């Protein structure tokens, strides 16, 4: 959904993303009802790599968790960082800081029950631990076959993304994460 602008951000270097679903009147008149107030001006200043702080936080999340095309994305990307989460993922991929993986790379994210349903399609053994089920699926299914079975796809950070994250880890520390986590 396209974002909208608001006059309170007129002096910002870039307008924060505001969801078209947001009740702007309520947000202005009763900000306590919303998770965050005004997006800080500093969160709308791009770094040398062309990323906003919200993009750096998304890059960090991709690095430390299993972000997929179906992951729930916290509202703070909009309210605290002024970025739209799906656009942030696309930007990180376009800049080469993250990759959108194929179906085979996503197999480890599937639970054992789902993996067994996949294996059953080719009458393959359903026994073993999850790692064995993943290996069996990798050995017996093509990217296209798995792609027809599941639409879940993961994102992964690239070495270039890790370098950008290292350079801008102060953003993550301000976000509230400890230095050692994901560094």
pLDDT of 23-48, one tens digit each?
888 878 887 877 777 899 999 999 99
End-to-end CA distance of the chain: 33
Helix intervals (H) in the chain: 24-29, 53-64, 76-79, 85-94, 103-106, 112-120, 130-140, 143-149, 159-167, 169-175
Rounded CA gap, 172 and 58, in Å? 10
74 and 142 share a domain?
Answer: no
Domain count, the chain: 2
The reply to whether 78 falls in a domain is: yes
pLDDT band at 183 (very low <50, low <70, confident <90, very high): very low
Query: Dmax of the chain from CA atoms?
Result: 63
Asked whether the beta carbons of 16 and 8 are under 8 A apart, the reply is no
**Bridge partners for 98 per DSSP:** 157
Q: What distance in Å separates the CA atoms of residue 134 and residue 110, rounded to the nearest whole number? A: 9
When pLDDT is averaged across residues 3-14 and rounded to a whole number, the result is 81
**Domain of 22?**
7-99+162-175
Q: Is the pLDDT of residue 181 over 60?
A: no
Residues 13 and 88 in one domain: yes
84, 145: one domain: no
Would 126 be classed as within a structural domain? yes
Asked if the structure places residue 83 within a domain, the reply is yes
Let me know whether 56 and 38 are in one domain: yes
**Same domain, residue pair 112 and 127:** yes
- Shared domain for 108 and 33, answered yes or no, is no
Per the domain annotation, does 156 fall within a domain? no
Do 14 and 85 lie in a common domain? yes
pTM for this prediction: 0.85
Convert the pLDDT of each residue in 140-170 to its tens digit. 999 999 999 999 999 999 999 999 999 999 9
């Amino acid at each position: 959904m396209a974002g909208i602008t608001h006059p309170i951000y007129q002096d910002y270097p870039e307008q924060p993303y505001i969801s078209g679903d947001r009740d702007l009147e309520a947000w202005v008149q009763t900000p306590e009802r919303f998770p965050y107030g005004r997006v800080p001006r500093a969160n709308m200043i791009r770094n040398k790599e062309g990323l906003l702080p919200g993009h750096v936080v998304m890059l960090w999340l991709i690095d430390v968790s299993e972000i997929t095309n179906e992951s729930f994305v916290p509202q703070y990307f909009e309210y605290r960082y002024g970025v739209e989460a799906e656009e942030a993922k696309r930007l990180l991929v376009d800049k080469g800081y993250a990759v959108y993986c194929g179906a085979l790379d996503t197999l480890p994210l599937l639970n054992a029950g789902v993996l067994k349903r996949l294996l059953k399609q080719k009458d393959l053994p359903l026994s073993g631990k999850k790692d064995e089920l993943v290996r069996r699926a990798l050995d017996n299914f093509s990217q296209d076959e798995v792609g027809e079975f599941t639409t879940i796809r993961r994102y992964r950070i690239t070495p270039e993304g890790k370098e950008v994250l290292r350079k801008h880890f102060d953003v993550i520390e301000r976000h509230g994460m400890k230095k050692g986590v994901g560094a």
